[in-house]
Structure 1
Amino acid sequence: MSSLRAKIQDVFNEPACEQNRGKDAKARKEGCSKPLTPGAAAGGCAFDGAKIVLQPITDVAHLIHAPLACEGNSWDNRGAASSGPTLWRTSFTTDLTELDVVMGRGERKLFKAIREIQEAYGPPAIFVYATCVTALIGDDIEAVCKRAAEKFGLPVVPVNAPGFVGSKNLGNKLAGEALLEHVIGTVEPDDAGLYDINILGEFNLSGEFWLVKPLFDRLGIRVRACIPGDARYLDIASAHRARAAMMVCSTALINLARKMEQRWDIPFFEGSFYGITDTSEALRQISRLLVNKGADPEILGRTEALIAEEEAIAWKKLDAYRPRLEGKRVLLNTGGVKSWSVVHALMGIGIEIVGTSVKKSTVEDKQRIKQILKDDNHIFEQMAPRELYAMLSEYKADIMLSGGRTQFIALKAKTPWLDINQERQHPYAGYDGMVELVRQIDLAIHNPIWCQVREPAPWDCQPAVREELPRTKSETATVQAFKKFAGTMADELGEC
């Protein structure tokens, strides 16, 4: 536990984070997580955050040393996609019971589980995750993993991030520490080149990275390791031979990027693949870093030519949506890079941004939002569900882009909603991804269902009074006979 405490303090004191550098020593020890509010949802735990970062490594077996519920609650909580191996889709857990805890059989059961996975699947590596229960009872997963690696001849990586140590964001960073300590630098590639790069913090949600990778391929740039999206163990193990790196989500793996730069002289920058402008700038930055590391400067010209070609195609496609979306109002209730990076393209086709959340955004993200919107009134730290509902029900926004947690607020307010977070079904990265995002916004806003659900319910409408038509002689006789029969029956029931 002492080594775990040291790692936690190390990731809290992150010198590559400008926000962290501005704090005093006491504030740095507390990290970036806000104190929990009693009765409020705490969000993901550290184990959950570590699993999010490492599970998209697709050819690795991920073994959770815990009771069954820990794996069940955290499995597949992001829509990452794989272009090949499917082993990561298989759920492995030691399934500890109360008897295992009381009898001290946790470490023995863990070793047995590692052996069974190795014999049945033969993976290139096994990642073993500590959890609250196993950390509290004192199971030494690092010793078990070391012994298993010697016994079975394959890497067995301990991920020491039990849930109780902190937030999901802390778990992200502890996962990066596990990769640094046990994986990266353990394999020497025989094909290292001047155009090799790493992409850090890219999760390949809904296959998004597959929209970006062809751009690098056309420039002759090889993505040696995308961590963690659609990754392979050997690619990550040899990632230390890349010449440059791009950090997509700094709040998740900034410690990994900084330490790789310190150890192996891999310069990095923070960028985004969301939005046309930011995708182009990311390509430029990568090319500049490669040139600074010895690549041929002619790649800068090829990059500009590619950007000009792709931007022209993308804007031509987006112009087709301008007549339908110009003047429409969008509310962004998300965080991180998405709170500002998609704004450029949306405003470029005439969409108005009525508000964007900065709940999970860094100081740099907030500064970018202010530069784009030029109005602090459109920026909110967080908005209570009641306030969101009031804003949407008064039709101050034509659509809300958010995660699944707030979709029911929009639906209750009878307002179109589009999922932009990790559960989404469509890729929105790169040039083609931006066009897809605008297409989905158009489909959502102009869906005819909204006109129907906003109409008054049939039972709230007063029925029209129909004028009684004159009856024929036969109809009049029938009515009189029915009235006479009804009166007779009433008299008989009254006598009874």
Structure 2
Amino acid sequence: MSLLRAKIKDVFNEPGCEKNRGKDAKARKEGCSKPLTPGAAAGGCAFDGAKIVLQPITDVAHLIHAPLACEGNSWDNRGAASSGPALWRTSFTTDLTELDVVMGQGERKLFKAILEIKEAYGPPAIFVYPTCVTALIGDDIEAVCKRAAEKYGLAVVPVNAPGFVGSKNLGNKLAGEALLEHVIGTLEPDDAGPYDINILGEFNLSGEFWLVKPLLDRLGIRVRACIPGDARYVDIACAHRARAAMVVCSTALINLARKMDERWDIPFFEGSFYGITDTSDALRNIAELLVKQGADPEILGRTELLIAEEEAIAWKKLAAYRPRLEGKRVLLNTGGVKSWSVVHALMEIGIEIVGTSVKKSTVEDKERIKQILKDDNHIFEQMAARDLYAMLSEHKADILLSGGRTQFVALKAKTPWLDINQERQHPYAGYDGMVELVRQIDLAIQNPIWCQVREPAPWDCQPAMGEERPCTKSETVTLHAVQEFSGTTAADFGEC
């Protein structure tokens, strides 16, 4: 536990974070995370954050050393995708019972579970996650993993991020520490080259990274490791031989990027693959970093040719949507890198941003938003559900872009809604992803259902006695559908 405290203290004092550097020494020790509310761990604890970062490593067995409910609450909590192995989709847990806790059988049960997974699946590595229960009873996860690795001849990685130590974001960073301490640098590649890069904080949600990787392939740039999206254990173990890195979500893995730069001289920058301009800038920055690291400068020219070609194709596709969407008002309730990258992307085609949240956003994220919007009045830290509803019901926005938690607020306000968080079903990264995002926004806004749901219900607009009125459009559609289904005629129903 003392080792875990030291790791947490080190993560809180993160020099790569501009916000943290601006604090005094005492404030840095307290960190940025808000204290957890007892009983509110699901979806917001350190264990959940570590699982989010590491589970997309697809050929690894993820073993939760805890009672069954801990694994049930955290399994498959993001829409990451794999191009091959499916082992990460299998749920493993030691399923501790009260008797195991009382009799002190936790470590023995964990050791046995590691053997069972090795014999049944033969993975290249097993990641072991303690939770609140096993951390509080004092099970020595580090010792068990070390002994199992020696006896069974495979990598067994302890991920010390029990839920009670802090927030989900802290768990993200502790997962990066586990990779740095036990995985990265443990293998040497035999094909290292001057065009190898790492991409950190990319989760391949809905297969988004697969829209970006072909662009890098065309430039001859190899992604040595994408951490964690669609990753393989061996690729991450060899990630220390990359020449440059891009950080997509700095709030999650800035500590990993900084320490890899310090240890192995891998410079990094923070960028985004959302939107045409940001995708082009990311490609340019990657090429420039590689040239600084010794790559042939001719890659700069090839990058510009690729950007010109892809931008022309994307803008041609988007031209069809501009007349339909220009001037439409969008409200974003998201956070992190999407708080500014999606804003920039939508403004490129003439969509107006009436508000964007900066929840989970870094100081750099907030500064980017201010530069893009030129107005602080459109930025809010967090908006309560009642405030969202009031804004939407007063028609101050034509569509809400957010995560699944606020979709019902939009539906109650009879306003179109589109999911842009981890549960989304469509990839929005890269040039093709930007076109898909605009297409989905257009489909949501132009959906004819909104005209119907905003009209009064037939039973709310009955005429006074003796009055007649024509049917509304929605009533006519409904009436015809009923007639077709039942075989009746208009005379059977009389007037609306």
Shorter-chain TM band: over 0.9
- Report matched runs for 1:433-472 at 5 Å: 433-463=433-463, 465=465
Change (3 A) 1:193 1:409: same
Distance 1:387 1:121 in 2: 50
- SS where residue 342 of structure 1 aligns? helix
Q: How many correspondences in the alignment?
A: 468
Q: In structure 2, how many angstroms separate the alpha carbons of the residues matched to 1:266 and 1:467?
A: 79
- SS state of the match for residue 436, structure 1? helix
Q: How does 1:354-369 map to 2 (within 5 A)?
A: 354-369=354-369
In the alignment, does 2:421 pair up with 1:412?
no
CA distance in 2, matches of 1:37, 1:262: 36
SS across alignment from 1:421? coil
Whichever residue aligns with residue 141 of structure 1, its letter is I
Q: Tell me, yes or no, if the aligned pair for 2:42 and 2:73 is still in contact at 8 Å.
A: no
Match of 1:85 in 2: 85
Find the residue that maps to 2:365 and give its secondary structure.
helix
Distance (Å, rounded) in 2 between the aligned partners of 1:132 and 1:467 = 69
- Structure 1 portions without partners, runs of 5+: 469-496
Q: TM-score normalized by structure 2? A: 0.93
CA–CA separation in structure 2 for the residues paired with 1:125 and 1:39: 32
What does residue 200 of structure 2 align with? 200
1:176–1:256 CA contact under 8 A, matched in 2: yes
**Secondary structure of residue in 2 paired with 1:330:** strand
Q: Deviations over 1:270-329 (max 9, x none)?
A: 111111111111101100110011100000000011111111111111111011111110
Please report how far the alpha carbon of residue 334 of structure 1 lies from its aligned counterpart in structure 2 after TM superposition.
0.5
How far apart are the structure 2 equivalents of 1:91 and 1:177? Answer: 23
**Counterpart contact for 2:42–2:48, Cα < 8 Å:** no
- Structure 1 Cα separation of the partners of residues 154 and 36 of structure 2: 40
Classify the secondary structure of the residue corresponding to 2:405: helix
Correspondences of 1:298-309 after superposition (within 5 Å): 298-309=298-309
Q: 1:188 to 1:42 in 2, by over 3 A?
A: closer
Residue 100 of structure 1 corresponds to which residue in structure 2?
A: 100
Letter in 2 for 1:85: P
State the one-letter code of the partner of 1:101.
V
The DSSP-based 3-state class of the residue aligned with 1:426 is coil
In 2, Cα distance between equivalents of 1:40 and 1:110: 27
The alignment status of 1:255 with 2:279, answered yes or no, reads: no
Q: CA deviation at 1:457?
A: 1.2
Structure 1 pair 42/18, CA: closer, same or farther in 2 (3 Å)?
Answer: farther
8 Å CA contact 1:331, 1:356 repeated in 2: yes
How far does residue 34 in structure 1 lie from its aligned partner after superposition? 2.6
- Matched-pair contact (CA < 8 Å) for 1:64–1:71: yes
In 2: Cα distance, 1:42 partner to 1:355 partner: 28
How is 1:1-400 mapped onto 2 (pairs within 5 angstroms)?
1-36=1-36, 43-400=43-400
- How far apart are residue 41 of structure 1 and its match? 8.1
- CA–CA distance in structure 1, aligned partners of residues 40 and 398 of structure 2: 29
User: 2 CA distance for matches of 1:467 and 1:94?
Assistant: 72
Post-superposition shift, 1:466? 5.1
Q: Is the 8 A contact 2:41 2:163 kept in 1?
A: no
Q: 2:199·2:247 contact (CA, 8 Å) conserved in 1?
A: yes
Shift of 1:31: 1.1
Superposed displacement of residue 345, structure 1: 2.8
CA contact (8 A) 1:43 1:167 kept: no
2:459 counterpart letter in structure 1: W
Hey, what's the Cα distance between the residues in 2 that align with 1:376 and 1:293? 39
CA distance in 2, matches of 1:194, 1:464: 81
Question: How far, CA to CA, are the matches of 1:352 and 1:135 in structure 2?
Answer: 49
Q: Give 4+ residue runs of structure 1 displaced > 3 Å after superposition.
A: 35-43, 463-468
Amino acid at match of 1:257: A
Q: Which has the larger radius of gyration?
A: 1
| Amino acid in the other structure paired with 2:395 | Y
User: Structure 2 vs 1, CA of residues 127 and 222 (structure 1 numbering), >3 Å: closer, same or farther?
Assistant: same
CA distance in 2, matches of 1:199, 1:159: 21
Partner of 1:426: 426
How far off is 1:27 after superposition? 1.2
Q: 1:491 maps to what in 2? A: none
C-alpha displacement of 1:437: 0.4
TM-score by length of structure 1 reads 0.93
Tell whether the 8 Å contact from 2:247 to 2:270 is kept in structure 1 after alignment.
yes
Please identify, of 342-351 and 261-270, the stretch whose mean Cα deviation from structure 2 is larger: 342-351
Unaligned 5+ residue runs, structure 2?
469-496
Instruction: Give the partner amino acid of 1:280.
Output: S
Tell me the alpha carbon deviations over residues 19-41 of structure 1, each in whole angstroms, 9 at most, x when there is no partner. 10001111111111134578988
How far apart, in 1, do the equivalents of 2:186 and 2:37 lie?
43
Structure 2 counterpart SS, 1:340: helix
Offset at 1:347? Answer: 1.5
| Structure-2 change in CA distance of 1:151 and 1:28 (3 Å) | same
Q: Call closer, same or farther: CA 1:102–1:332 in 2, change over 3 Å.
A: same
Distance 1:313 1:356, change over 3 A: same
Q: 1:43-79 CA deviation, whole Å, 9 max, x = no partner? A: 5100000000000000000000000000000001000
Counterpart-to-counterpart distance in 2, 1:131 and 1:39: 14
Rounded to whole Å, the distance in 2 between the matches of 1:309 and 1:294 is 26
Aligned equivalents of 1:6 and 1:38: distance in 2? 23
Does the CA-based 8 Å contact 1:336-1:360 persist in structure 2? yes
Q: In the aligned structure 2, how far is the partner of 1:47 from the partner of 1:7?
A: 15
